[in-house]
Structure 1
Amino acid sequence: MFPGSEAYDIEIEIDERDVERLLSITPDSVEAAAELTFARNVFVPLTTACRYTCTYCTYYDPPGQASLLSPEAVREICRDGAAVGCTEALFTFGDDPDDRYTEIHDQLEEWGHDSIHEYLREACEIALDEGLLPHANPGDQTREQMATVADVNASMGVMLETTADVQAHGGPRAKSPGQRLNTLRVAGELGIPFTTGILVGIGEDWHHRAESLLAIRELHERYGHIQEVIVQPVVENERWSGGSPSLETMRRVTAMARAALPPEVSVQSPPNLAPVRELLDCGIDDLGGVSPVTDDHINPEYAWPAIQELEDIADEAGVPLRERLPVYEHHYRDGWCSDRIEAAVEAEDAAGERLRAVLERGENPLQTEHTD
């Protein structure tokens, strides 16, 4: 039983034999992918308020310092992204901002919203108006919160991080693996194409890594909703000086992810955080969202690579590089998206043509001018 599971009635049984099999996996146990994919996005940090104070995270600001992005700023970011060929608007905010952030709540009320999720819905609609497909990653969510925004998102996500109770999550507001798993379950029950992942090097051990991957696999087997699993190393920053996992660790855990997950679930390695070139033979097939116009606001010290660098990485692997939408093609083709998202993709305008071009081309569609 994972920490916090009972509070959310999470029933996930991990067979110790599966754990042992996964612990025996090495990079030699898996094959390199036949292609690499990525999404071209803009990063829209809706608010820096967060109920958690994880010791490795630089995203959150304390009460009195947290900001809330205005609708006008959201529109400007999305418009700039659409102008250079982006297809995804990545919306982030801290997990369930609470009453500590009175200024945030007062601002939301002034703008006519009862909750941050109501405002997220407005922001997603702005992105759709500007020709981008929203992908919201607002941390732990209840069924009601997720249902509020599900139909205006092409996909959503939350990092599981780990099923272990680690000190890096410590304090009275510590993340609960059970709550995290419940968010993944709710997404599956609501039929939302979903991204999740593990964070490597925050105090978990190898057994925890195997358990985390197997828990993700079990939820995907129930609902079929997981698009990709990110294998992300913790990185040094102004709040974290505990070091990053070694290359050997990242190679092994990435191969474990590939071995644990079914073929239709991508294994993603973020190229601004992980040693991607040294992981190409470990089964990764996706490089995540990369922005030509905005920073990685969760890891601002680690700049996105230029699109040309992604092409170089693919060339080094001897495989094609293909751009994708925030919703993977097989989920879109199988009818996972709402009428609102389908209407955006099928629209007879320049934005719809751009989205369909990315969806329909089987080869690298980098035909749009960008500002890398």
Structure 2
Amino acid sequence: MFPAAEEYDIDIAVDDAEVERLLSVGPADVDAAPRLTYARNVFLPLTTACRYTCTYCTFYDVPGQATLMSPEDVRETLRMGADAGCTEALFTFGDEPDERYTEIHAQLDEWGYDDILEYLYRVCEIALEEGLLPHSNPGDLTEADFERLREVNASMGTMLETTAEVQAHSGGRRKTPGQRLNTLRAAGRAKVPFTTGILVGIGESWRDRAESLLAVRELHERHGHVQEVIVQNVVPNERSAFETPDLETMRRVVAMARAALPEAVSVQVPPNLSPARDLLDCGIDDLGGVSPVTDDYVNPDYAWPALRELESIADDGGVPLGERLPVYDRFLPEDPDAPAAEWEWTGEPVREAMRADDDAGRRYRSLVDGWT
């Protein structure tokens, strides 16, 4: 069992032979993907409050400075995204704010919400009303949280980052690998199409990277819920001096991810942070969510590439580029008019939105293979 998982009674065995196999993998040992995909999203930083204080993160704000988007701002931003042809509403925020964030809790209470997750449910409903499919990244959640939120989310995600204990997560209020693994397991038990990933360059070793990928694979093999794994390099910022991993490191890690994961699980790199065109032969097949209308609020110094740049990356690799939904096709029934029992990965509000006979519904259906 992973030492990090013992506290949560998560039985994940480390196969030393598999670790050694991955440590020997390089770009020449994997195949380039036959196509690239991306999602068109609108990015909503619901709150910048977070109970954790990771040293590499510029997204969170301290108590007294943290922001909270109002329902009116959420709806206005969503409408802007819908008008730009987006299909995904990406709700990102720090893990549920602790008691220090008195102003955030007071504002939620004034609006009639017990906590940030109840508010998240409502703004996801607003997204569906405005013609976008929610994908939420709310950090560590319980199985009960996922069961509630899956009703109004097409997919969800949380970065594992690493199974190692690293200095970057140190301090009195820190995330732990066990918490992250527990969240990944909870999402699988609740049948949530899920995005996770590893963060490269925060003090982890090569063995840590291999073990992290194998942990994701094992939990996916039990529950079948992981749709993509992001291989994300850390970038220097005003709060930390972590150096960006060099190209050869990223090529090797991406190849390890492709070799470790089942074929059905996509390997993604963020094209505004990583040299995607130099990683095509290492097995990436997805460029993640890219917004034509909002910034990357997690990495504000790194602008999203324009669609024409994504097309250029695909052209350089000699592969087609296709737009996708935030939920991958394999989690959807072959027929959009299939009975509810065949939509086992999708809550009723999301299902009804995708089946709707309106501009939004037709936009969703046009991006699912076999639904046109």
TM-score range, shorter chain: over 0.9
Aligned equivalent of 2:226 = 226
Aligned equivalent of 2:188 = 188
Letter in 2 for 1:209: R
For residues 48-127 of structure 1, the aligned pairs below 5 Å read 48-127=48-127
Q: What do the CA deviations read for 1:227-284 (whole angstroms, capped 9, x no partner)?
A: 0000000001111212111111000000000000000000001100011111010000
Aligned equivalent of 2:362 = 353
Name whichever of 158-167 and 3-12 sits farther off: 3-12
Aligned equivalent of 2:336 = none
Deviation at 1:350, TM superposition (A): 0.9
User: 2: distance between equivalents of 1:212 and 1:325?
Assistant: 26
Aligned equivalent of 2:28 = 28
Aligned equivalent of 1:330 = 330
User: 2: distance between equivalents of 1:20 and 1:178?
Assistant: 23
**In structure 1, which of residues 302, 323, 341 is the aligned counterpart of residue 350 of structure 2?**
341
Q: What do the CA deviations read for 1:157-197 (whole angstroms, capped 9, x no partner)?
A: 00000000000111011211011000000000000000000
Deviation at 1:73, TM superposition (A): 0.6
Aligned equivalent of 2:290 = 290
Per the normalisation by structure 1, the TM-score is 0.96
CA gap 1:23/1:4 in 2 versus in 1, 3 angstroms: closer
| Pairs aligned (count) | 363
Aligned equivalent of 1:309 = 309
SS in 1 for 2:314: helix
The question of whether the paired residues in 2 share the 8 Å contact of 1:2 and 1:177 is answered with no
Deviation at 1:4, TM superposition (A): 4.0
Deviation at 1:84, TM superposition (A): 1.0
SS in 2 for 1:359: coil
Q: What do the CA deviations read for 1:114-136 (whole angstroms, capped 9, x no partner)?
A: 11100000000000000000000
Deviation at 1:6, TM superposition (A): 2.4
The question of whether the paired residues in 1 share the 8 Å contact of 2:46 and 2:93 is answered with yes
Aligned equivalent of 1:143 = 143
Name whichever of 222-231 and 236-245 sits farther off: 236-245
Matched, 1:2 2:2: yes
Per the normalisation by structure 2, the TM-score is 0.96
Letter in 2 for 1:229: V
Over the residues paired in the alignment, what is the CA RMSD in angstroms? 1.3
User: 2: distance between equivalents of 1:269 and 1:92?
Assistant: 18
User: 2: distance between equivalents of 1:319 and 1:19?
Assistant: 31
Letter in 2 for 1:6: E
Aligned equivalent of 1:132 = 132
Letter in 2 for 1:96: E
The question of whether the paired residues in 2 share the 8 Å contact of 1:3 and 1:177 is answered with no
SS in 1 for 2:56: coil
User: 1: distance between equivalents of 2:351 and 2:146?
Assistant: 19
User: 2: distance between equivalents of 1:253 and 1:132?
Assistant: 33
User: 1: distance between equivalents of 2:149 and 2:8?
Assistant: 22
The question of whether the paired residues in 2 share the 8 Å contact of 1:3 and 1:165 is answered with no
